[in-house]
Structure 1
Amino acid sequence: MEMMEMCVVLKIVASLAVIGVVGLGVHIYNSVWLKSERVRKKLRMQGIRGPIPSFLYGNLPEMQKIQLQAMKAPNHTDEFVAHDYTSTVFPYFEQWRKEYGLIYTYSTGMRQHLYINQAELVKEMNQCITLDLGKPSYVTKRLAPMLGNGILRSNGHSWAQQRKIVAPEFFMDKVKGMVGIIVESAQPLLRKWEECIETQGGVTAEIKVDEDLRGVSADVISRACFGSSYSKGKQIFSKLRRLQVSFPSKASSLVSLILGMRRKQNEIRCLEGEIESLIWEAVKEREQERSAEKDLLQSILEGAINDHASLANNNSSNSKHFIVDNCKNIYFAGYESTATATSWCLMLLALHPEWQARIRSELAQVFPDGLFPDPNSLTQLKTVTMVVQEVLRLYPPAAFVSREALEETKVGNVVVPKGVCLWTLIPTLHRDTDIWGPDANEFKPERFADGVSKGCKSPQAYIPFGLGPRLCLGKNLAMVELKVVVSMIVSKFSFSLSTNYKHSPAYRMIVEPGHGVHIVIQRS
């Protein structure tokens, strides 16, 4: 009898389990899959097509398959005259672009995306000032250890308030005042490279430039914005770099980022805590200094104290996060992207010594007395400006402009449903032959001789610093630092690519030289 009762109970439990599983499946189908399908239908009704998604996983399996095929393809890294790396770093986007055009839709899991590389729609995004277009929360959530809830990943009124505090510190009048700091920060690099020539025989020296350039950028951002030297902040930069490379580092990194990162989570959490502690120590030291000179850190401190609304009535925990998160954002954005852009600059100049000569000639004309650089004369450096603009066209450190429709939003003639993420692949836009001409993949700085507006058919398609209200706040500092540092290096040295250089752009939150930039230098 007891055995029969137990069998009945087990049958009931099994039936309930089956009902539960079926119920869960029905719930997922109705509330998730059908919801995603309704979004896709809205896009299809507007003529927007894309690859067919699978249930639950969307197009992720196809993205992985395309990525694996690209990784197995013959390696042509030495043949980089055309400088087009998108088909190897982002092969799924390139394959779908060729199949569906400059605007298409795809899915990752149950999340729907809209790929936009049409110049007119990019222009509309640029002009869109609504707070209803923000940073994709599902991506920035995974970058929280790196960026916290600072200006790079926040949305809505929180972002608007942070921008109000940070933006004025990067206006051009303040950036001009930082030129002396940039020069002072770059001089140790020049001395180090001269010593390398002496120790390697006195004629030439082989240099891997990347870490040295990171050191310069780190010193600039530390001293200009935080009032401390690189020697004081080097632990922060070192740990930020370790944290950055803890994120997926192969060509499949975007897919890995979408799927989530389970490896190295303990290391990431530890680094996050260590970085926050170091930044907070620097903040407390800065408070004790009570310097009369107001810098960026002072502005962030005042913003944390004064803005009661956004900081929950000045709750000390919220204030601390506000300060630390924005410091992390500025540390990362202020040195990593600029240093990477400088590395790409030296790589391309090493390939084109004629442009090194042109920069040297211009410097001699603009600064005949050798007093370089005068902040007010930077606008006369036309040649180095053209070179920098062309480098940022071919190798923009930021690979994407990404947005999420926090509410249903209209971009041009496209109605973007709530929850859809928009992606613009910057290097693809920068290589569009319809915009830039048949030589779009060639290094031709002269295309910018009369400025960006005359360099292509659609100036809004040139977006190395992003676009719209969320345009990179550090654009002015980055451009001035690039021009000054490149000019100083070219004035002292002539250089060519080393045979040890391997061309392999890699996506590690930004697009950087996968194996670094190796050059052979000699005194010019």
Structure 2
Amino acid sequence: MESFIVETVNAIWWIIVVGIIAVGYHVYGRAVAEQWRSRRSLKKQGVKGPPPSLFNGNVSEMQRIQSEAKQYSGDNIISHDYSSSLFPYFECWRKQYGRIYTYSTGLKQHLYINHPEMVKELSQTNTLNLGRITHVTKRLTPILGDGIITANGPHWAHQRRIVAHEFTHDKIKGMVGLMLESAMPMLSKWEAMVNRGSEMGCDIRVDEDLKEVSADVIARACFGSSFSKGKEIFSMIRDLTIAITRRNVLFRFNGFTDMVFGSKKKHGDVNIDELEKELESSIWETVKEREKECVEYHKKDLMQLILEGAMSCCDGILWDKSAYRRFVVDNCKSIYFAGHDSTAVSVSWCLMLLALNPIWQIRIRDEILSSCKNGIPDAESIPNLKTVTMVIQETMRLYPPAPTVGREALTDIRLGSLVVPKGVCVWTINSTLHRDPEIWGPDANEFKPERFSEGISKACKYPQSYIPFGLGPRICLGKNFAMMEIKVLLSLIVSKFSFTLSPTYQHSPTQKMLVEPKHGVVIRVVRQ
């Protein structure tokens, strides 16, 4: 009798296992079939691409091309054309198949477009059926939640109506003062380092200091608190970012194990689930503290205004406590991340390029002295800083904050003469588009801010090809905020310091979620 029970249990167990495997392969098989149908549809419309394997598409070829590119990379050569090292497979396929082609990463079919007219179509398409790429946003949920950056459809449109209202130019002008306050401790620290240094100058790694300043600006703008109060939150966001981006988030393999077992929740010593819960608790506690302060002192900051907008613009959505908290936490995550790392990285690249081109430091310094009272920029003088603006625009051309723009067709959608099947991911590689000689001329890989002397519309052959903040309806809402902060920081630094690149600087752009200096930016600052 006992053996019969054991045999029965084993039989049931194997039935369950076989059933799970069968269901998994059935679902996986349907996903593969859908992906191949999408590829056939694009092929019929004349879109070619590298032939994929059955189970992992073109992933093996991508890995091979990436490995070969690393073998032939030079030693610390300062070249602004980093696409061939970060995305060598795209460069290889573009030469082979042109500006529009298709490729596969297992269960996902992708459409690469770097044709100016197609980019224009993508920019002008105003529909909720073209959204963020779901398998990417799912991976980034611990960092960004389901906030304005990652949401799709009506949920995204609802959040945009609320958040966009608080990023108007007039409101951002009122934040210049807090940007100046946040920068002053860093400037004092650098001045002390220079004074202690020798006549040959003092080496300063600027990227980490700039991240602290940028974090302080966001903390003050959102909660009226200083960086010291939000330091724990930013530390957790950094830990999560490092853990999640250890593998390529954008172009990783999307296969059977991901579908059945999901993505890893632990990377090294970091438990992503636990850290995510801790992050959300810290954000919520900070929000509640700030709400009490706003009531008590009758002061409103950016996040308080967003919360009020959320409550007064429900669009028929019934807000319960959990939904309200989810909205608040997710959008805090988005604002913290987007306004923190991207701005600091952009200023770091600006300083690197100015260190290589000291003549532009002199031009900026002269402009600030003639335009700004006491050499300090304010809300009224910043719009007159044309040289500063040109330098920033050229930096963002060569080193755009986000190297890619990705969209997913949430239903069949038309882009120009091309019908993109549902589920296909559409990619534009900013860094390639921004350095295309046919668009920007033979000097496309050179730092020449003067190309923007008459504005973006005259800087290149196709102005729609300049997309450092993304494109279309989902263009970065924080664009004006970021530009204002970058102008303030760059003006302050260049007005106070002269600098060159340190001999210890290692030029190695690396892609995580942004294109960052892998070994930081080290400049040699000298006394003026």
Q: How does 1:118-517 map to 2 (within 5 A)?
A: 118-201=115-198, 204-249=201-246, 254-256=250-252, 260-261=263-264, 263-264=266-267, 266-289=270-293, 290=295, 291-308=297-314, 311=317, 313-367=318-372, 369-370=373-374, 372-517=376-521
The 1-side partners of 2:225 and 2:29 are apart by: 56
The 2-side partners of 1:271 and 1:16 are apart by: 37
Q: Name the counterpart of 1:76.
A: 74
What is the letter of the counterpart of residue 158 of structure 1? H
For the 8 Å contact 1:404–1:420, the answer to whether it is kept is yes
The 1-side partners of 2:307 and 2:341 are apart by: 23
- Identity score, percent: 55
Secondary structure in 2 matching 1:370: helix
Secondary structure in 2 matching 1:245: helix
Please say if 1:67 is aligned against 2:59: no
1:125-145 Cα distance to aligned partner (Å, 9 max, x none): 111111000001111000000
Long gaps (5+) in structure 2: none
Secondary structure in 2 matching 1:149: coil
What is the alpha-carbon root mean square deviation over aligned residues? 2.7
For the 8 Å contact 2:105–2:253, the answer to whether it is kept is no
The 2-side partners of 1:410 and 1:21 are apart by: 38
What is the letter of the counterpart of residue 196 of structure 1? M
The 2-side partners of 1:285 and 1:192 are apart by: 31
What is the letter of the counterpart of residue 49 of structure 1? K
The 1-side partners of 2:320 and 2:314 are apart by: 8
Change in CA separation of 1:173 and 1:76 when aligned onto 2, cut-off 3 Å:
same
Q: Show structure 1 runs of 4+ deviating over 3 A.
A: 15-30, 252-263, 303-311
What is the letter of the counterpart of residue 238 of structure 2? R
For the 8 Å contact 1:337–1:397, the answer to whether it is kept is yes
Secondary structure in 2 matching 1:376: coil
Please say if 1:54 is aligned against 2:53: yes
Q: How much has 1:199 moved relative to structure 2? A: 2.6
Deviates more, 1:174-183 or 1:144-153: 174-183
Query: TM-score by structure 1 length?
Result: 0.92
Deviates more, 1:275-284 or 1:461-470: 275-284
1:185-244 Cα distance to aligned partner (Å, 9 max, x none): 111111000111123346621100011101111111111222111111111112211211
Q: How much has 1:21 moved relative to structure 2? A: 10
Q: How much has 1:507 moved relative to structure 2? A: 0.8
Q: How many residues are treated as equivalent by the alignment?
A: 513
1:356-403 Cα distance to aligned partner (Å, 9 max, x none): 011111112213x41521312212111111000000000012011110
For the 8 Å contact 2:237–2:337, the answer to whether it is kept is yes
Change in CA separation of 1:441 and 1:229 when aligned onto 2, cut-off 3 Å:
same
Secondary structure in 2 matching 1:478: helix
Q: Name the counterpart of 1:43.
A: 42
1:282-302 Cα distance to aligned partner (Å, 9 max, x none): 101011112433322112322
The 2-side partners of 1:234 and 1:148 are apart by: 19
